[in-house]
């Protein structure tokens, strides 16, 4: 069944022009290092089929995804891009990699052996990255394994040597300098192979972190990458409709669990969205703590009561009588409400806000 494009109640606008500007800002900052782009998790929830071409047009040529499935989608969108799969090789998947532009990031001796066997079987030196653990203790070769590999060879020529920073979002954290020192020794052992250390936070750090190729993610999408450092341009705007305005009396409670009690005669706007749309229950308000804000009629208004699956209540008492009515739109992200401000109300981070944005929103792309 076909549905009219306007039937989705809430609108998520993604500013591809701001996204491209953010990439260009980072690319200028890290030059002469190459600036790549991380587009995993469907471009942080914003739509890889739209985001990736905008980044390509801005000048990005190397992209990073988490899974091979994501890489295959991106390869169809950008067939000339170099695409690295950060999750590496799942068992038995080496032969499924279709060609030299889709490259696994190999994080264990077993994965390296699998890739070397594939190269030998095909008689081709297929490109792949080597991931070295410099202290994060997630994925990656140990330092000892990396130095041994550099001595004996991998059975193919790596196209990239990389690691991941754990604490670069905290300015001056000593662990960043330690990781940088460890990685510099590894990069020297793999002389002639491009090296990649910097994530978004690393891009905004000193030049000693940039090496040959950087991998910005959250900074591209308008999120805070380094604590205390303002983000680049905002990329997302979320507007949701008011479906009812109702009155409440002192002593009335709002929402599930009677978590918040009105202290005055109030007007409450009910918005058509909730935690099924990625607007977390933790954003709600109780008698013990305030919740997030929405902007209605140009003014910030506080949430009242718990967020439910499909509905959220906002206190609009302080707006002039008649200033808000059914069909008006409330701004949830935008007009000064950032993904990181919203995240703070839920005890989380901007990454989770972006990647949780709901499938029920009507997505509009602008500035492309």
What is the DSSP secondary-structure string of 64-93? EESSHHHHHHHHHH-TTSEEEETT---TT-
Cα 214 to Cα 3, 297, 356, distances in angstroms: 42, 42, 25
Sign for the pseudo-dihedral over CA of 137, 75, 31, 190: positive
Q: Per-residue pLDDT for the chain (368 aa), expressed as one digit of tens each? A: 343 444 458 999 999 999 999 999 999 999 999 999 999 999 999 999 999 999 999 999 999 999 999 999 999 999 999 999 999 998 888 888 877 889 999 999 999 999 999 999 999 999 999 999 999 999 999 999 999 999 999 999 999 999 999 999 999 999 999 999 999 999 999 999 999 999 999 999 999 999 999 999 999 999 999 999 999 999 999 999 999 999 999 999 999 999 999 999 999 999 999 999 999 999 999 999 999 999 999 999 999 999 999 999 999 999 999 999 999 999 999 999 999 999 999 999 999 999 999 999 999 999 97
Non-local (6+) Cβ contacts of 332 within 8 A are: 238, 239, 240, 273, 279, 292, 294, 342
Six token digits for residue 299:
């003014």
Q: Tell me the C-alpha distance between 188 and 351, whole Å.
A: 33
Q: Has 256 been annotated as catalytic? A: yes
Distance, CA of 31 to CA of 41 (rounded, Å): 27
Structure confidence at residue 3 (pLDDT): 39
The pLDDT of residue 67: 95
**pTM for the whole structure:** 0.94
Rounded (10°) angle between helices 16-30 and 48-58 = 50
Q: Domains (ranges, CATH) in the chain?
A: 15-221 (3.20.20.10), 237-337 (2.40.37.10)
Residues in the chain: 368
**Local structure of 243: helix, strand or coil:** strand
CA dihedral 21, 22, 27, 29 (to 10 degrees): 110
**DSSP summary character for residue 323:** S
**What's the pLDDT tens digit per position in 14-51?**
999 999 999 999 999 999 999 999 999 999 999 999 99
Q: Of residues 221, 256, 263, 361, which has the active-site annotation?
A: 256
Using CA atoms, how far residue 88 sits from 82, 136, 333, 367, in Å, is 15, 17, 34, 34
* Beta bridge partner(s), residue 3: none
**Distance (Å, rounded) from C-alpha 220 to C-alpha 200?**
8
Contacts of 270 (CB under 8 A, 6+ apart): 242, 243, 244, 245, 246, 311, 312, 313, 314
Map 245-308 to HEC letters: EEEECCCCEECHHHCEECCCCEEEEEECCCHHHCCCHHHCCCCCCCCCEEEECCEEEEECCCCC
Structure tokens belonging to residue 80: 């000339």
């Amino acid at each position: 069944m076909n549905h009219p494009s306007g039937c989705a109640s809430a609108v998520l606008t993604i500013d591809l022009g701001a996204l491209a500007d953010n990439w260009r800002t980072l690319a200028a900052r890290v030059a002469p290092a190459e600036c790549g782009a991380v587009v995993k998790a469907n471009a942080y929830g914003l739509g890889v089929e739209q985001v990736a071409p905008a980044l390509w047009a801005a000048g990005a040529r190397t992209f990073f995804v988490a899974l091979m499935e994501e890489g295959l989608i991106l390869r169809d969108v950008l067939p000339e891009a170099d695409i690295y799969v950060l999750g590496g090789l799942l068992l038995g998947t080496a032969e499924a990699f279709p060609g030299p532009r889709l490259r696994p990031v190999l994080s264990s001796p077993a994965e390296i052996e699998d890739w070397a066997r594939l190269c030998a079987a095909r008689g081709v030196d297929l490109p792949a990255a080597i991931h070295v653990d410099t202290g994060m203790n997630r994925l990656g070769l140990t330092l000892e394994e990396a130095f041994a590999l550099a001595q004996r060879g991998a059975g193919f020529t790596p196209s990239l040597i990389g690691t991941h920073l754990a604490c670069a979002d905290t300015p001056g954290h000593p662990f960043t300098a330690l990781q940088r020192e460890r990685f510099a020794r590894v990069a020297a052992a793999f002389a002639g192979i491009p090296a990649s250390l910097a994530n978004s936070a690393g891009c905004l750090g000193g030049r000693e972190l940039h090496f040959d190729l950087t991998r910005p993610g959250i900074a591209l999408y308008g999120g805070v990458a380094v604590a205390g450092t303002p983000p680049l341009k905002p990329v997302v705007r979320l507007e949701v409709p008011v479906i009812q305005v109702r009155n409440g009396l002192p002593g009335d409670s709002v929402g599930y669990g009677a978590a918040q009690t009105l202290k005055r005669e109030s007007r409450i706007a009910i918005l058509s969205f909730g935690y099924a749309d990625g607007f977390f229950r933790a954003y709600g308000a109780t008698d013990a703590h305030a919740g997030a804000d929405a902007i209605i009629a140009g003014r910030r208004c506080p949430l009242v009561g718990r967020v439910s699956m499909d509905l959220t209540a906002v206190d609009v008492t302080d707006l002039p009588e008649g200033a808000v009515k059914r069909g008006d739109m409330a701004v949830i992200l935008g007009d000064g409400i950032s993904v990181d401000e919203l995240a703070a109300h839920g005890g989380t981070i901007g990454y989770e806000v972006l990647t949780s944005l709901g499938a029920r929103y009507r997505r509009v792309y602008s500035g492309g």
